Amino acid sequence: MDTRFIFFSGKGGVGKTSMSCSTGVYFAEKGQKTLIVTTDPAANLSDVFEQEIGHKITKINGIENLFAMEIDSEKATEEYKERSLAPMREFFDDEMIKIAEEQLSGPCTEEMASFDKFIDFMEEDDFDIIIFDTAPTGHTIRLLELPVDWSAHIEESSKGSGQTCMGPVALIQESKQKYDEAIRKLRDTSKTEFTFVMQPEQTSLDETLRSCNELKDLGIETGKIIINGLIPKKEAVNPFFKARYEMQQKYLQKIYDMFKDVKISSMELFHTELKGIEIFRIIGSKLYDKTVRIDESFNFKTDNKLSDDMIIENQNVDKLIYPQNGKRKNIFFSGKGGVGKTSMACITAIRTASKGYKTLLMTTDPAAHIGNVLEKKVFHDITKIDEVDNLYAVKIDQKKAAEEYKESVLKGAREYFDESTLQAMEEEMNSPCTEEMAAFQKFMKYAVMEEFDVIVFDTAPTGHTLRLLELPMDWSKQIQFKAGESAEISEADKTESEKFNKVIEILKDKEITTFAFVMYPEKTPIIESYRASKELETVGIKTQLAIANLIIPKEEVVTPFFVNRRNMQRKYLKEIRERFVDSKILGVQMYDKEIKGIKMLKNIADKVFGV
């Protein structure tokens, strides 16, 4: 069987999962055995198909030929470790197995294992079509770079010391052939199609353009673009939604002009949530048959009566955003992609800076957008934002961070080691894992920085943020593990351990650190944020703030379509209050244009936090 692979990528929250599921339903009903695999750490296939899926290939209820799987990084890590160690158990004693196990216990292994699981599916031949519902773009590009990087790293290491950060080349040499084959398939347009899902707005357009170019550098062509979430023309009847409609149409034309060589489809906004096979069937037909009109094919009832008001009264959150008792303040904004984390981070940073607190706004998201929202250039080094007193901004560039990290480690090592040892270290540090460690080290440096009163973190989408926040715990455990039975650990490890422990203490201290989850009032962002908040609790971190974003203003609702959407929002606002009962809650309304520019951000800050 000649399997076809279809990748869906794009900025967080643009509708990748909906388009993946709709495509899966469409091809399954055409008689093709289809598998949907999500590589997103914050998977929600179970939520949208309304059944348990998890880390196993699962038949989707109510439809023939359709299967799905959510890759669980922890389970993938255990499987990967066992697969790597199994061949050694026959030939080596317990001491050697323990050393190999130690080498496979670093935080890098989790990234490698999830990636390895993804590559396994590129070898799969039991399905006609395999659809990859990927993590938001920055992380997807990273995933697609890995087979190229790992193949080169294994080859270089085999010519030198034979060591990688995952242990001896011998342990992972067999993987090289697998990675080379995956690269070949990814570049073969007859086997693999890359589809970018985007929304008609500037940040989504910028990210899609950048990502298409990065794919091209890897020898991978973009096959299709889906522009999602367009307001239907007949619903743009009042000035508010007419302004949003016209803004979208302007970007729609821009997208067609910029991507002349790519197939483009468009998809209108629905008046209800996108979940369940019936809705996916309609979307799939619209995407691929081009004959279906959504408004004619929908038999779902729309409400005509607007429910009572939302009853979200913004609470006083001064203690959560301003320094208390002379201590500095860290504020983390997390949540599903596309919910408005970057906007909220920028609004909050402008607010704290305008109140006289020296504020650093930083992003840990590989697809950094704070510059777009501020309408200012933001760099890898801390930059003053001139229009706002006390405001500075920075974005962590993983590749630059990796170069700085390698140079600092090797600089220190040159004083103590000979040339051959230095060469082996350099080979090991050319590993693709180094980028994650370097970005984490950079994050750690900012987290303990004393020169700012407030640091606002605009984080990557939820699954990747949890990974970043758990890293200090992981590395601290690894240092202890390395010590083994001995009473002493090296001075370098002691220093690292002290740094990690300091970061862990800061993250857990509610007076110093505020964790905020941003979500819009729909099921998947709420569930994703709630799960993440519960996971953070297991490492001693409490969520103190929940922000409901993109609430449709009551006075702008004049058609049954938007009555339906607002009534749906009201139901989910109630759920946010119930799930985040121990957190302060803020509501932020939808605006008739994109949120960007210092002036607009200041005005919204006044509305959200009070003048």
Residue 406 CB neighbour total at 10 angstroms: 17
pLDDT digits (tens, 9 = 90+) for 329-381: 999 998 887 889 999 999 999 999 999 999 999 987 665 688 889 999 898 89
Q: What is the pLDDT of residue 460?
A: 65
Secondary structure of residue 532 in the 3-state scheme: helix
Give which of 108, 211, 134 is closest to 440, Cα–Cα.
108
d(C-alpha 28, C-alpha 517), whole Å? 36
Q: What is the pLDDT of residue 247?
A: 96
Q: What is the pLDDT of residue 610?
A: 86
Q: What is the pLDDT of residue 178?
A: 74
Secondary structure of residue 325 in the 3-state scheme: coil
The DSSP letter of residue 232 is P
Q: What is the pLDDT of residue 365?
A: 67
pLDDT along the chain (611 residues), means of 10: 86 88 97 91 82 94 96 82 76 72 64 74 90 69 61 60 51 64 86 93 87 86 94 94 96 95 93 90 89 52 67 84 93 86 96 97 76 90 94 88 79 73 66 66 79 90 54 49 47 64 82 94 88 86 94 92 92 94 94 94 94 76
Secondary structure of residue 4 in the 3-state scheme: strand
590 in Cβ contact with 553 (< 8 Å): yes
Q: Tell me the backbone φ, ψ of residue 295, rounded to 5 degrees.
A: -65, -25
pLDDT digits (tens, 9 = 90+) for 267-315: 999 988 888 999 999 999 999 986 655 554 455 456 667 776 656 777 8
Secondary structure of residue 261 in the 3-state scheme: coil
400 in Cβ contact with 406 (< 8 Å): no
Q: What is the pLDDT of residue 252?
A: 95
71 residue type, one letter: I
Q: What is the pLDDT of residue 402?
A: 78
Helix and strand element counts for the chain (H, E): 22, 18
Give which of 321, 393, 390, 375 is closest to 595, Cα–Cα.
375
Q: What is the pLDDT of residue 77?
A: 79
d(C-alpha 46, C-alpha 58), whole Å? 10
Give which of 37, 16, 17, 19 is closest to 208, Cα–Cα.
16
- 570: its two tokens: 């009201």
Class of domain 4-297 (CATH, top level): alpha beta
Class of domain 318-342+454-609 (CATH, top level): alpha beta
d(C-alpha 318, C-alpha 514), whole Å? 11
Count how many residues are written for the chain. Answer: 611
231 in Cβ contact with 268 (< 8 Å): yes
d(C-alpha 120, C-alpha 104), whole Å? 19
d(C-alpha 345, C-alpha 547), whole Å? 11
Secondary structure of residue 326 in the 3-state scheme: coil
pTM confidence score: 0.81
Secondary structure of residue 394 in the 3-state scheme: strand
- 366: its two tokens: 């590989």
Secondary structure of residue 544 in the 3-state scheme: coil
Intervals of CATH 3.40.50.300 along the chain: 4-297, 318-342+454-609
The DSSP letter of residue 499 is H
319-347: b (≥16 Cβ within 10 Å) or e: ebbbbeeeebbbbbbbbbbbbbbbbbbbb
